[in-house]
Structure 1
Amino acid sequence: MATASDTPVLDTIAAMTVDSIERCGLPPNALVLTRIAALAASDAPPISYAAHIGPALDSGVTADQLQDVLVAIAPIVGTPRVMAAAANISKALGIAIVVADAEIIVQG
């Protein structure tokens, strides 16, 4: 029987992510860039990108690399998905900044 949790969906996603990372041979920066490409291809909402901001920064992904990924996938996924991805990434960064500011205020 499954363990009871207040956040079963989040717990499941976290477990799937850990399992995926453990089974993947890509370096961390390639892994996160691949995931961002998949998010763009699936027309993911900003919150999905927000979950990848920390790992992207931790692995040294640059804004230029992120832009290069969007350029690379544009002929495959199309202009509307790439433009939506760019907007959603910007929204996710805004969310991340607000969260970081809130944590500084709480800790300060």
Structure 2
Amino acid sequence: MSVASETPVLDTLAAMTVDSIERCGLPPDMLILTRIAALAASDAPPLSYAAHIDPAMRADVTVERLQDVLVAIAPIVGTARVMTAAGNIAAALGIAIAVAEAEAEAEIESEG
């Protein structure tokens, strides 16, 4: 039986990411960077990148490492896909910031 949630799709994707990290032989940072490369190659939307922000932060993935991955895949996936990926990553970060701000505001309101 499933547990009710307001965000079942995001919850499932987050759980899959956590499960993948636990089951994969790659170090967590390499796993996330590999996933980012796959997202770029598949022309994924911003929400797909957003699901990887928290795991990337937990794995200490740096902006420099992320940029290195985009540089490395550019000759394979093409300039347009890499530029789209960079824009989608920026949009995903904007989504994450907006969600964090909304959660902080809700917490402040519930305390007041």
TM-score (norm 2): 0.83
- State the aligned residue count: 106
Query: Cα RMSD between the aligned structures?
Result: 1.9
Code of the residue aligned with 2:29 in structure 1: it is N
The residue correspondences of 1:69-84 to structure 2 (distance < 5 A) are: 69-84=69-84
Identify if the C-alpha distance between structure 1 residues 103 and 91 changes in structure 2 by more than 3 Å, giving closer, same or farther.
Answer: same
Given that residues 17 and 55 in structure 2 are in contact (C-alpha distance below 8 angstroms), is that contact kept between their aligned partners in structure 1?
no
- Runs of 4+ residues over 6 Å off in structure 1: none
Residue of structure 1 in register with 2:61 after alignment: 61
Residue of structure 1 in register with 2:100 after alignment: 100
Q: Gapped runs of 5+ residues in structure 2?
A: none
Indicate the percent of aligned positions where both proteins have the same amino acid: 72
Q: Secondary structure of the equivalent of 1:88?
A: helix
Separation of aligned partners in 2, 1:59 and 1:107? 27
Separation of aligned partners in 2, 1:63 and 1:74? 16
Q: Gapped runs of 5+ residues in structure 1?
A: none
Code of the residue aligned with 1:98 in structure 2: it is A
Separation of aligned partners in 2, 1:47 and 1:57? 16
Q: Secondary structure of the equivalent of 1:43?
A: coil
Give the Å deviation of 1:58.
1.0
